[in-house]
Amino acid sequence: MDPMIKILLVEDDLSLSKSVYDFLKSFAEVKQVYDGIEGLYEAELGIYDLILLDLMLPEKNGFEVLKELRGKNVDTPVLIMTAKESLDDKMHGFDIGADDYLTKPFYLDELRARIQALLKRTGKLEDSNGLSYGNVRLNLSNKSAMVDDTPVDLIGKEFDLVVYLMQNQNVILPKEQIFDRIWGYDSDTTVTVVEVYMSKIRKKLKDTEFVNNLSTLRNVGYILR
H helix and E strand count, the chain: 9, 12
Q: What is the pLDDT of residues 76-116, one digit of tens each?
A: 999 999 887 777 878 888 899 999 999 898 889 899 889 98
Q: Indicate whether 128 pLDDT > 60.
A: no
* Fold designation for 130-224: Arc Repressor Mutant, subunit A (1.10.10)
Q: Indicate whether 51 pLDDT > 70.
A: yes
Q: What is the mean pLDDT of residues 28-43?
A: 95
SS3 content of the chain, % helix, strand, coil (to 5): 40, 20, 40
Q: What is the helix (H) or strand (E) element at residue 2, kind and residue range?
A: none
- Residue spans of the domains in the chain: they are 6-121, 130-224
Closest CA to 49 of 125, 144, 113: 125
Q: Indicate whether 2 pLDDT > 60.
A: no
Sign of CA dihedral 183, 53, 97, 104: positive
* Fold designation for 6-121: Rossmann fold (3.40.50)
Closest CA to 47 of 193, 159, 185, 139: 185
pLDDT at site 17: 96
pLDDT at site 50: 95
Q: Indicate whether 21 pLDDT > 80.
A: yes
Tell me how far apart the alpha carbons of residues 94 and 100 are, in angstroms, rounded to a whole number.
Answer: 8
Q: What is the pLDDT of residues 161-217, one digit of tens each?
A: 999 998 888 888 999 989 988 887 667 788 899 999 999 999 999 999 999 999 999
pLDDT at site 116: 85
